[in-house]
Chains A and B, each alone.
Chain A
Amino acid sequence: MNKDMKILVVDDFSTMRRIIKNLLRDLGFSNTDEADDGNSALPMLQTGKYDFLVTDWNMPGMTGIELLKNVRADENLKTLPILMVTAEAKRDQIVAAAQAGVNGYVVKPFTAAVLKEKIEKIFERIDS
């Protein structure tokens, strides 16, 4: 797993973005950018600079699941690894995210250990 990879953190609450960025930095990933919803995230992703997307679900404008679907529908982005970090805890929603092609799903409130485990798992699967 490349610790220099560029990560985009998408959440409408700035405090949650800060928390995730801090946790990522503790895990050795300090190359991170932020966006506050899908509408601002998608054009950033389309520049092709990002190696990993961490997104919330419930956001004004474009939601995380719509962002996920848009990314998977984009020829240049469809293989981008995506971790969803969200308070959405309905089984139907988790199944919908899995069907839309999410690579990992973390429910809030979460711990640093869970975030680490899920990121490692995603890249283990990709690298193998």
Chain B
Amino acid sequence: MTEEKQLSDGPVSSFEAILKEQANSLKIMVDSGDLSGAMSIISDLNETRDKTLYQEVGRLTRTLHESIRNFHIDTENSSTQEELSKIEDASDRLAYVVDMTNKAANKTLDLVEETMPYASEISSEAKLLKDDWSRLQRKEMKPEEFRSLTTKMGVFLGKLSSDADKVYQNLSEILLAQDFQDLTGQVINRVTGLVKDVEENLVNLVRMAGKVDLITGAVHEVEQQETGDEGEGPQMHADTRDDVVSGQDDVDDLLSSLGF
């Protein structure tokens, strides 16, 4: 970064030095009446300014281009690598993350929805049997009812065993459905790296543009950011910020202070 800064400041500071030097020569020449000499210095000045600007913008464009081109994933997993190598830019990579997380969430939800009825059926059948069992313990059961209970108990135990296996199997599939975290984590880290590179280069570009503004005397109007109905999504570092609630309790406090 320090090297970048020097490179970026270099041409501009030398331009400033040349500007000072040539301004002096210009004044001397105008004072002494050498107008053609003065014109030639003005044209030199323009040329120096344009060159400085083109050089710097060109260098930054190359750096940006390099940063983007260098952005590729190397993963040990060959099938994934093949899949990822087809994806060439950051937005595609992020779309891949959205797709992976979407698939994982849907798979998990499918399995949960499939598993829940097993749990509720086991629970309701066990409750019925428990009532019968209590009557047996209180010796309130007739022999034919007892025979029916043993049959029901046998069926229930068989069903319980296979249902529990099914529940276990679904739970381990849910476990496996979380494997996206590893892949999406790698992709997101790469995209974060690219964003940081681009930001660094943009900061250089902004610093360069600031110098150019200084030299050309340009003044820009700063646009006011509108805050409206557009949502902003999840807020980061909510616990250290005053303008953001840090959880449902905060929301409830705020709403009750408003008379809710």
Contacts and interface: CB of A to CB of B under 8 A. Distances in A.
A94 B113 contact: no
Interface in A78-96: 86-95
Contacts of A107: 245, 247-248, 251
B231 interface: yes
A114 interface: yes
A63 B227 CA distance: 14
A35 interface: no
B231 A15 contact: no
A18 B113 CA distance: 10
Nearest to A56: B231
Contacts of B232: 58, 88, 90, 93
A95 B244 contact: no
B233 interface: yes
A94 B245 contact: yes
Contact of B109 (A19, A57, A86, A98): A19
Interface in B93-131: 102, 105-106, 109, 112-113
B243 A94 contact: no
Contact of B102 (A15, A19, A105, A114): A15
A90 B244 contact: yes
B39 interface: no
Given A19-B109, A65-B229, A107-B247, A95 B258 contact: yes
B215 interface: no
Contacts of B230: 58, 63
Nearest to B113: A22
A15 B106 contact: yes
B30 interface: no
A110 interface: yes
Interface residues of A, number: 29
A57 B230 CA distance: 8
Nearest to B98: A13
B247 to A, nearest CB: 7
Given A90-B243, A91-B254, A94-B255, A18 B109 contact: yes
Interface in A43-83: 57-59, 63-66
Residue from the set B227, B231, B235, B243 with the largest chain A CB neighbour count within 10 Å: B231
A95 B105 contact: no
Interface in B221-246: 227, 229-235, 238, 243-246
Interface string A90-128: 111111001000000111101000100000000000000
A36 B4 CA distance: 47
Contact of A98 (B231, B235, B260): B260
Top-10 shortest CB links A-B: A58-B231, A15-B105, A87-B234, A57-B231, A65-B229, A89-B235, A89-B245, A89-B244, A18-B109, A98-B258
Given A15-B102, A18-B109, A93-B232, 5 more contacts: A14-B102, A18-B106, A89-B234, A93-B231, A95-B258
Interface of A: 14-15, 18-19, 22, 57-59, 63-66, 86-95, 98, 105-108, 110, 114
